[in-house]
Structure 1
Amino acid sequence: MLNKESFILHSDWNDAVQLFLQDCKVRNFSRESIRRYRNGLEKLQQHLNALELQLRALTPAVFKNQVLPSLLNESLALRTLNCNFQIYKSFAQFLSKEGWIDEPFDADIKPFKLQPSSAHTFTDEHLFQLLALPDRTTFTGIRNYAMMLTLLDTGIRLRELAKLQVTDVLLDEGSLRVNHGKGRKSRLVPIERIAAGELKHYLLERGILEHNALWVNLDNQPFLPGGIRTMIARYCQSAKIDDIQCSCHTFRHTFAKKYLLNGGDVFTLKSIMGHAQIETTEMYVELFDSDLQAQHEKFSPIEHLAGALHLLSESEVKSK
C-alpha cells in the first residue's frame, strides 16, 4: 500500500486514474466497463480543472458544495449522472482504501430516484408479423427465425446472443449457457420446447464447422452483433412496425413483460435476465403495473367465484 506522502509526490491525476483502471483489470472488469470508467473519470477531471481543484483536495464537503453543483449544471440525464456517481464512488473508495486520501469523497453522493421510463414491447400482432417474415426454406430464414425465437424465449441481450457457442446449447437440459453476460457473469437460461426445436433444426443446417460460434452467415463466419441488429431492423421495417422502438432489446422487454404476466416471480426473472440488482428487475414490475393489474383481475380467484359467492350470500340470508 502506498502511503499518503508518496501519493502527494505522485498525485498526478492521470497516474491515479491509470492505477485505478489497472485495479479494475485485476478484478476482471470487462473492456466495456473499463471504457465507461475511463470516460466517467475524464468527465470528472474536466470539472475539477474548471474549478481549479486538486484531487487530494476532494473531501465530501468540497465534492458536495463545489463539484456536484458543477456536474448538475451540465444538465445530463439523471440516469447518466447515476452511472457516473457509481464510477466516482468506486474511484473514491479505491483511493481511500489505498490510504491516498483521508476519506472517500463519495460520502454525500446519493443516486437520484428515477421514474420508470417506458419500455417498448411487441404486441402479439407485432410478433406474428415478425415471425412470419423469415423464409424458412433458406438457411438465413431458418437462422433468423431461430434467433428471434431465442431472443423472445430467453430474454438474453444482443451481445449475449451473438457470443453463444455451439457448446452453450444444452438442449437435453432445456437451457442455454450464457458465458459472456454483463459483468462477465455466467448463467443458465431456460429455453422451452418450441424455441429449442427450432434451434435444433438450425444446428442441423449449420453443420460442423472449424469454429464453435453458434450463429454464422452464408460464408460460415460468425454472425456479428451489427449484422443481427441490421437483420432485426429490416424485419421491423418490412413488418411496418413504426409505433414502437423496434430492436433486439425490444424482444428482451417483451420477454420480461410476458414472463410477469404469465405469473413468473421477480426473483427468478432477475436470475434469467442476469440483473446484478433486484431493483433493476423490479423496474419491470413498475413499468407493467397496469398490465399486471389487468391480468390479476382477469385471473383473480375471487372474481371467478363472484357468482357463487353471491348465491351463497343470498342463501345464507334466506336461511336466517
Structure 2
Amino acid sequence: MSIKKKADGLYLVRWREGGRYRSLQVNGGLELAKKIERKKLSARDENRHLDVKKEINYRMSYLIDRYWDIFGSKKASADREISIVEGIRAELGRLFVREADGAAMQRWYENLTGKRGLAANTAVRHFNVMHHMMEKAATIWSKDTGIEKNPADMVEVLRPDDTRERFLSKEELERLKVALDERMLQKGTKDLNRTNLRMRLIVLIALATGMRSTEIHRLCWSDVMFGEGLIAVRARLKKGKVRYVPMAPQLAEELRSYPVVENEDRLFPPTRGKSKSGRQRLEGSFEDLLLRVRIRHFRFHDLRHTFASWYMMIGGDLYELAKILGHANIKMTERYAKLGRAHIAKTGVTAKAILDLLGSSHLQTEEQQALTA
C-alpha cells in the first residue's frame, strides 16, 4: 500500500488486491488519500472484494495435483497433457485459486501465443486443460477452493477453425451437388453405396444447419423435430442445455428418406475401425469428394462457414446466426457481418437456398428397402 503525490491536490493510492496491484487517483488533500487508503485496506482484509464468505487459502499448486491425480492422469492424452499442467504450475502455481480470476486467466492464455510463442491450435489445447481443471474447482471442489464460477469462461479464445473465412461459391456448390448425387449407387449396380450415402447426408446437414462435425455425428433421431422444423443440438452443451437449428423442408425430406438402423437411435452410429478416442471423421471420403469436384484449400469445418456466410449474404440477422451456430460470444459471429444486407430474413431461408442449389434427390422407397434388406 502506498500514497504518491502526483501534483498539488492530486494523489495516487496504490494497493495489492486479488493477486495484482490496483490504483486510484484521489483529488483532494493528503488526509483524504489516507482515509481512502484505510478503507481499501479494510475492504481487502475483510475479504469484501472476493465473492466468498470466508478467506480460503487453497493454492493453484494443490488444485493442479488434485486434478491430475483424479482426472488428468486417467486421460488417453495424459502423456501430452502432463507438460501442460506443469506449465500452468510454473506460471500460476503460487496463486490462491481465488486469485486466479478471469483477468489472470486471460493473461495466462495470451502469454501462450505471446511470450511462449505457441501456435494458436496448441494454445487452445492448453486452454482446454485449464478450463476443465477450473470447472472442477468451481463445482465439485468449490468449498475447498472458494470459487463458484469458472474464471476460464471469461477468456476470449481464438480457435483456428473460427478464424477461417473459406466458404463455397455458387459454382462450387453446384459442382458439389453433382458429386454428392452421382455415387449414391454402387458402380455397375442398383445397390446403394452405404459409405457415400452416409457422407452425403452428413455434408447436407453441415451445409444446411452450420452444425459442427462432432454435433452431427452425435445426432439422434429423437433430436430431429419434423413437426417443428428444427433439429436439437445437445453435443458439447453442459447442464442439459439445448440449442436448436432450422431444418429446411428439403433437409427434412432427406432425413425421412435416410434408412434407420434397427435398434439404434443415432443417425450415424460409429463404424468399424473408429479411433480409440471414439471421434468420428469423414477424412478419406470427404477429401476424395473435394478432389473430384476440384475444390481446393477446403476442410469439413468450412461447410459451417459456408452456411454462416450464405446466411448473411441472403440477408440473415447476426444475432440469430450466433444462436444457430452456438457462439457464446457475439464477437465470434461478427466477422460474418460484412456479408450481410440491411434487411432481416427468416432463419430457414439460408438452408432452403443452399439446398435449392444442391437439389433434392432424396432416396426412393425401393432404395430404402434395398439398403435395409
Distance 1:210 1:19 in 2: 38
Instruction: Label 1:152 to 1:19 Cα distance change in 2 as closer, same or farther (>3 A).
Output: same
In 2, the alpha carbon distance for the partners of 1:258 and 1:218 equals 32
Shift of 1:4: 6.3
Determine the C-alpha separation between the residues in 2 that align with 1:218 and 1:88. Answer: 29
Please give the alpha-carbon distance, in whole angstroms, between the structure 2 residues aligned to 1:171 and 1:70: 47
Quickly say closer, same or farther: Cα 1:77–1:128, change in 2 above 3 A.
same
**Structure 2 contact 56–144 (Cα < 8 Å) conserved:** no
Unaligned runs of 5+ in 1: 23-30, 298-320
Q: Deviations over 1:250-292 (max 9, x none)?
A: 110000011111111112111211122222222332xxx2x44
CA contact (8 A) 2:210 2:308 kept: yes
Change (3 A) 1:3 1:162: same
Matched, 1:231 2:301: no
**Counterparts of 1:151 and 1:77, CA distance in 2:** 27
8 Å CA contact 1:163, 1:213 repeated in 2: yes
- Structure 1, 264-273 or 176-185: larger mean CA deviation: 176-185
Could you tell me which residue of structure 1 aligns to residue 235 of structure 2? 180
Alignment of 1:135-174 (within 5 A): 135-137=183-185, 138-140=192-194, 141-174=196-229
- Secondary structure in 2 matching 1:189: strand
* 1:133 alignment partner, one of 147, 162, 179: 179
Q: Residue 179 of structure 1 contacts residue 186 of structure 1 at CA under 8 Å; is this kept in 2?
A: yes
| Structure-1 separation of matches of 2:201 and 2:136 | 46
Q: Which of 211, 232, 236 is matched with 2:264 structurally?
A: 211
Residue 122 of structure 1 contacts residue 254 of structure 1 at CA under 8 Å; is this kept in 2? yes
- The answer to whether 1:73 aligns with 2:115 is yes
Query: Which residue of the other structure, out of 193, 198, 212, is the alignment partner of 2:254?
Result: 198
Structure 1 stretch displaced more, 274-283 or 70-79: 70-79
SS at match of 1:271: helix
Q: Percent identity?
A: 21
Alignment partners' CA distance in 2, 1:121 and 1:59: 42
Aligned length: 263
Sort the Cα spacing of 1:38 and 1:263 in 2 relative to 1 into closer, same or farther, 3 A.
farther
Q: 1:253 to 1:272 in 2, by over 3 A?
A: same
What secondary structure sits across from 1:156 in the alignment? coil
Give the aligned residue type for 1:153. A
Per the alignment, residue 307 of structure 2 pairs with: 255
- CA deviation map 1:235-256 (0-9, x unaligned): 11222212x2x22211100000
Q: Which aligned segments of 4 or more residues in structure 1 are displaced greater than 3 angstroms?
A: 1-8, 10-22, 36-42, 53-60, 66-72, 77-102, 109-114, 181-185, 216-219, 224-227
SS of equivalent residue, structure 1 residue 119: coil
TM-fit CA distance, 1:93? 8.4
Task: List alignment gaps of at least 5 residues for structure 2.
Answer: 1-51, 186-191, 344-373
Give the secondary structure class of the aligned counterpart of 1:153.
helix
Q: TM-score, normalised by structure 2?
A: 0.54
Provide the rounded CA distance (Å) in 1 between the counterparts of 2:138 and 2:170.
49
The alpha-carbon deviation at position 16 of structure 1 amounts to 4.8
Read off the aligned partner of 2:331 and give its amino acid letter: E
Give 1:124 deviation, angstroms. 1.6
- Cα shift at 1:154: 0.6
Q: Which one-letter code corresponds to 1:136 in the other structure? A: M
User: Is contact 2:137-2:145 (8 Å) kept?
Assistant: no
2:88 match:
44
Alignment of 1:47-66 (within 5 A): 47=91, 54-56=94-96
Q: CA deviation at 1:56?
A: 4.7
Closer, same or farther: CA 229–196 of 1 in aligned 2, 3 Å: farther
User: Matched residues in 1 for 2:97 and 2:223: separation?
Assistant: 50
What one-letter code is carried by the residue in structure 2 that aligns with 1:196?
A
2-side partners of 1:167 and 1:68: how far apart?
A: 39
Supply the AA of the counterpart residue of 2:203. Answer: M
Shift of 1:172: 2.5
Change (3 A) 1:228 1:89: closer
Whether contact under 8 Å (2:215, 2:236) holds in the other structure is: yes
**Do the aligned partners of residues 38 and 125 (structure 1) sit closer, same or farther apart at CA in structure 2, a change above 3 Å counting?**
farther
3-state DSSP of counterpart to 1:248: coil
Tell me whether 246-255 or 130-139 shows the greater mean CA deviation.
130-139
Contact 2:309 2:336 in 1 (8 A): yes
